[in-house]
A and B are shown apart, each in its own frame.
Chain A
Amino acid sequence: MIGTFYRPGRSFLHRFDPRCKLVLLLLFLVLFLLSIPLTLLGGYLVFLALMILAALNARELVRPLKVIGPLLLLVVVLTPPFHREGQVYLSIAGWPLLTSEGVLETVRLLVRFTGITLALFAFLRTSSPEQVLLTLRWFGLPFEACLALGIALQYMPTLHDLYLQVVDAHRLRGSAREAGAPRPRGLLRRLRADLLPVLTSVLIVAVRRITVLAMALEVRGVGLRIRRSSYTRLPAGRPLLRDALIGAGICALALAALFVFT
C-alpha cells in the first residue's frame, strides 16, 4: 500500500473501534467549523492534543504541526489586515494593521485549522486503510465503491514505478531533444517537449490495464448479484459495545459543553 499516515501500533487509539473513531472524527470536524466561543474551541483542541499525547507520543503530536506550520504562519500574517474592527493595537500611517478583532479571528482560525488537522491525523495515524474501507462499507458505502478504492490504493505504487520507467525510457530514447540541441525555453514549451510524451505513454498503459483488470474482476465474480461474504470483518460484541459507550460518552460531553457555553 502507498505510504499513508498509518503506522501500526498497540495504543488505545489503535485498538479503538474504527467506526466509533469515524463518528467522533465527523463530530469534531463539525464542532471546529461552528462559530462557538474560542475557549470551547480551545478546549476541544486541548482534548485532541492530550489524546494523541497519551496514545502516541510528543513527536507524533508535532509531526502534523510541522506539516501545517508554514500555513499557520501565513494565517498569522495575513488575517489581521482583513479584520480591522475593535481596539487598534498597531497602525501604520493611520491604517489599522492589528486590532483586537484581528487577533481574535487569527486565534480562532489557528485553533480551527490545527484542531481539524489533529482530528484527521489521530484517525488516519491509528486506522489502517483496510479498516477505513471496512468502516465505510459498514456505514453503507457499496461494496463496488470500496473495491474501487482498495484497488486504487494498491495500484498507486505500481503506477508511480510505471511513471518513473516511462520517464527513463523517454530519456534513453532522447525523445525530448537530440544530443546537442538546445533545451526548449519557456515553461509551456518544456512541458510540451518533456512532459506530454511521458504522460501520454503513462495514460495509455494505464487505460490498457483497465480492460485487463476488468476481466480479472469478472472472473472473480465481481458484478454478479449474489450475497457477498467477507474474509475480514470489524470486531463485534463486547469490544464494540465498550467502544460505542466510550464514544457516546465523549460525544455527550462535547455536546453538553457546547450547550453550556453557547
Chain B
Amino acid sequence: MRAKKRARQLPGSPALRIATIAILTAVTAVLTWLVRIPVPATKGYFNLGDTVIYFTAFTLGPVSALLTGGLGTAIADLIGYPTFAPISLFVHGLQGLVAALIAVIPLGGKRSRGTFGPSWIVAAAAGTVVMCGGYLAAETVMVGFGAALVELPFNLLQNLVGALVGISLSLAVRKAYPPVLELRW
C-alpha cells in the first residue's frame, strides 16, 4: 500500500492568519511611531517597537514575529523616516524570527520549552545582536561608520528595555488571556 503523505496543516484558517498579521502589524507600527517614551537623561526618545517584536516572538511564534516585526516597523518608518524603511523591513523581521526560533529551544530542560527560561534570555540577546548588527552594517553603507556608531548605544539600550518589557508583557498577557497561545504561528 502506498503510504500517503499527510499534508502539513498550517495553524488556523487563512482568515485567522491574515487577521493576526494585520492587527499585530498595526500594533507594532503604532507603538513604534506614535508612542514615544522620553528619556530625560538624554533628552531623547525611545520607541516600543522592539518591545512588541519580542512580545510577538515569545507569544505568537516565528512567522508572526518575522512578518509583523518587519512590516510594522517599515510602515512606521514610511510615515516618519522613509529612508530607513527597507532596512527596518529586513533587520527587525530577522530580529523577530531569530528570537522566536531560539525561544522554543528547551535550553533549561524539557519543561522549560515555550515558557520563560534561559532560552528566552538567549533569544533576546540574539535578537539584540541581529538588530544592532544589522542596523550598524546597513547604516554604515547609508550614512558612514561614524554616524552609524553613534546610534549603536541607543539601539542597545532600546533592545535591552524592549526585551525586558517584552518578556514581562508576554508573561502578563499569557496569564491574563491564555487563548492568545492558540494564535501561535
Contact = CB atoms under 8 A, between A and B. Distances in A.
Contact of A200 (B19, B79, B173): B173
Interface in A3-61: 3-5, 29, 33
A123 to B, nearest CB: 9
Given A109-B142, A206-B23, A210-B183, A152 B75 contact: yes
Contacts of B25: 148-149, 152
A68 B72 CA distance: 21
Interface residues of A, number: 64
A211 interface: yes
Given A120-B85, A156-B26, A187-B39, A2 B79 contact: yes
Contacts of B155: none
A214 B26 contact: no
A254 interface: no
A86 interface: no
B146 A124 contact: no
A56 to B, nearest CB: 16
B18 A222 contact: yes
Given A163-B35, A207-B180, A214-B13, A199 B144 contact: no
B3 interface: no
Nearest to B39: A187
A192 B61 CA distance: 24
B30 A163 contact: yes
B173 A113 contact: no
Contact of A210 (B20, B143, B147): B20
Nearest to A106: B144
B37 interface: yes
Contacts of B24: 206
A93 interface: no
B177 A222 contact: no
Contacts of A121: 82
Interface residues of B, number: 58
A204 B23 contact: no
Given A4-B79, A188-B164, A202 B19 contact: no
Nearest to B164: A188
What's the dominant secondary structure at chain A's contact region? Answer: helix
B179 to A, nearest CB: 8
Interface stretch (A70-78, A173-181, A233-241, A242-250): A70-78
B79 A209 contact: no
Contact of B18 (A71, A79, A147, A156): A147
A258 interface: no
A148 B13 contact: no
Contacts of A207: 23, 173, 177, 180, 183
A247 B85 CA distance: 24
Contact of A155 (B26, B31, B80, B143): B26
Given A121-B82, A144-B18, A152-B22, 6 more contacts: A78-B146, A78-B149, A112-B142, A144-B17, A158-B26, A206-B26
9 contacts: A5-B82, A106-B144, A113-B83, A152-B22, A156-B29, A195-B165, A200-B172, A200-B176, A214-B16
Interface of B: 12-27, 29-31, 34-35, 37, 39, 41, 48, 51, 55, 71-72, 75, 78-83, 85-86, 141-147, 149-150, 161, 164-165, 168-169, 172-173, 176-177, 180, 183
